[in-house]
């Protein structure tokens, strides 16, 4: 896992009003905790953190004053709409200690089976990986170009990062190339019935008056 450095500033005041002021200033309230050390209330530059987080990074070095601390993102809180990040919790880690993180699964390439009319079903979007903090990857990539119809990738087939293990049953399916059957629509020609063919023309009163005027 690649490590990134984010500069932080201390927060002296707490509470919702104080947090709102921090966010209004373009910063993101956060806490650092763990390793039997006191909790620290800090803030990050909002845009820097958002870019870091949405690129899939979780392990970071927090530069606070003259001190650098290693941490991993543990909890991200969003607003009531679920769109904007409003608070972050960071757990201190030693780069050599073993931790467990939820790591996303990403496919690389286009499976043969898709060209043959199949569909790709990813049943496991992420996997729990346990290992040294610095060894856990940002994502698990699966090469799918050679997968044909009916192919199944299970947890035991995933590339295992050095020193890490997956906390899943090895037989659990990660993705499947399903075979889909095209259903041809059959159009039935509808013949007019005898009843509909024998129905007389409906003559309106207006048409009768027009006919009488034409004959006079």
**Domains of the chain, with CATH numbers?**
4-93 (2.40.240.10), 100-178 (2.170.120.20)
pTM above 0.85, yes or no: no
Average of per-residue pLDDT values in the chain:
83
Rounded-to-integer distance, Cα 10 and Cα 12, Å: 6
Rounded-to-integer distance, Cα 70 and Cα 92, Å: 6
What is the predicted pLDDT for the residue at 181?
Answer: 60
Residues 92-128 have pLDDT tens digits of: 999 889 999 889 999 999 999 998 889 999 999 999 9
Residues 189-206 have pLDDT tens digits of: 445 555 444 444 444 445
What is the predicted pLDDT for the residue at 198?
Answer: 44
Tell me what percent of the residues of the chain surpass a pLDDT of 90: 55
What is the predicted pLDDT for the residue at 213?
Answer: 47
Q: Where are the alpha helices (DSSP H) in 87-135?
A: 112-115
Cβ atoms of 44 and 34 closer than 8 Å: no
What is the predicted pLDDT for the residue at 203?
Answer: 42
Average pLDDT over residues 37-47: 93
| pLDDT at 71 > cutoff 50 | yes
Tell me the helix, strand and coil percentages in the chain, rounded to 5.
20, 40, 40
DSSP 8-class letter at 156: G
DSSP 8-class letter at 177: E
Q: Is 196 or 175 the better-scoring residue by pLDDT?
A: 175
Q: Categorize the per-residue pLDDT at 148 as very low, low, confident or very high, splitting at 50, 70 and 90.
A: very high
For 44, the 3-state DSSP assignment is: strand
For 196, the 3-state DSSP assignment is: helix
Average pLDDT over residues 17-27: 93
């Amino acid at each position: 896992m690649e490590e990134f450095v984010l500069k932080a500033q201390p927060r002296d005041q707490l509470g919702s009003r104080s947090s709102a002021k921090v966010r209004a200033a373009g910063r993101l309230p956060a806490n650092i905790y763990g390793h039997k050390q006191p909790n620290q209330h800090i803030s990050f530059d909002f845009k820097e953190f958002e870019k870091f987080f949405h690129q899939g990074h979780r392990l970071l070095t927090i530069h606070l004053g003259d001190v650098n601390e290693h941490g991993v993102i543990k909890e991200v809180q969003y607003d009531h709409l679920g769109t904007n990040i409003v608070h972050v919790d960071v757990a201190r880690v030693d780069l050599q200690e073993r931790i467990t993180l939820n790591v996303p699964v990403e496919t690389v390439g286009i499976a043969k089976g898709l060209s043959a009319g199949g569909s790709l079903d990813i049943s496991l979007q992420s996997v729990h990986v346990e290992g040294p903090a610095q060894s856990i990857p940002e994502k698990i990539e699966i090469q799918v170009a050679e997968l044909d119809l009916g192919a199944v990738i299970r947890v035991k087939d995933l590339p295992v990062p050095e020193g890490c293990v997956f906390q899943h049953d090895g037989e659990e399916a990660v993705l499947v190339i399903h075979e889909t059957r095209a259903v041809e629509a059959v159009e039935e020609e509808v013949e007019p019935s005898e009843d509909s063919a024998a129905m007389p023309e409906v003559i309106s009163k207006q048409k009768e008056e027009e006919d009488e005027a034409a004959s006079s």
